[in-house]
Structure 1
């Protein structure tokens, strides 16, 4: 592979377009993850409320827990710590590809504008790798992020749901014991 004027000009035109798409896509993911962090999955809230109960829950406590649980079953639960990790990995992937695309851009423009041409084979390979990585990122990253967020959210929701089922069963048992003692 060898750097030519046509190849360098193509890279100089294509790299910023891929970079722009990746930047917009990355910005949308960051905004989406910030929204996830603000949302409180009802199951998590219900679990926190239930964990605060010592002994037999009052009617008001049970109502608050049941209400939060219903909201959690209706909405996809999102936990800041899980989504924060995914957000960091996505941001790092976009940063790495952006740096590669910027390097390819500078390399191709530098090659076109200087009389002392750098190693043509090296420059051509760097540009090719950066552009391919950019295409792969903007094509595959949305699918990866969706799968990661779905898996993380589903796992956490299942844990919270199972814990709440055990809590409710324990509260029923406490109420049954209280009823037996009263009679």
Structure 2
């Protein structure tokens, strides 16, 4: 890569482009804010229900498990689509920080009398603007596609309870469906 140098035109371009990219990034982040909140709230409620149903090794009845499942939003702990949120949030924070850095640096350089070419600053500003631009282009994918995540409230103790809860829900729903089918056949 060729050596970049700060000059008036480059610094002015960075000072003009960085806030535009930052504004688009903030709008993109805000568009996903409500979804992020719903995902965390739904998963926290499901985890709390599973933890309380299976507390101290308890075996809840079919009716208790199905009632708890009916009261919760539809959600799976292994929904990779929603587990990409951590990567999305961290990358959004990094993009915003890089763009703010580029903006402030370019403005500082422009305001410094007889500022030199400062190749390092030019490269940092260039990298920040490119990172911000790439983030804007990729952020919808980051918000939608799977990335690994281990939430702070997901402990090794809750995973078996959540798995057991989901297994019991599937088993009990099948039992209810089978009973309804048998009752229908008996009525015929």
- Under a length normalisation based on structure 1, what TM-score does the superposition of the two structures give? 0.62
Aligned length: 157
Q: Give distance in 2, aligned partners of 1:87 and 1:18.
A: 21
Question: Among residues 1, 9, 16, which one is paired with 2:19 in the alignment?
Answer: 16
Alignment partners' CA distance in 2, 1:164 and 1:138: 40
Q: Which has the higher helix share?
A: 1
> How much does 1:110 deviate?
2.1
Q: Trace 1:160-175 onto structure 2 (pairs within 5 A).
A: 160-165=165-170, 168=172
* 126, 129, 135: which one aligns with 1:128: 126
* Higher relative contact order structure (alpha carbons within 8 Å, sequence separation ≥ 6): 2
> Which runs of 5 or more residues in structure 2 are unaligned?
151-158, 177-188
Match of 2:65 in 1: 65
The question of whether the paired residues in 2 share the 8 Å contact of 1:15 and 1:131 is answered with: yes
Comparing 100-109 with 124-133, greater Cα deviation is found at 100-109
* Unmatched segments (≥5 aa) in structure 1: 173-183
Shift of 1:101: 1.0
When normalised by structure 2's length, the TM-score is: 0.61
1:34 equivalent in structure 2: 37
**Contact 2:12-2:106 at 8 Å conserved across structures:** yes
The CA RMSD measured in Å over matched residues stands at 4.0
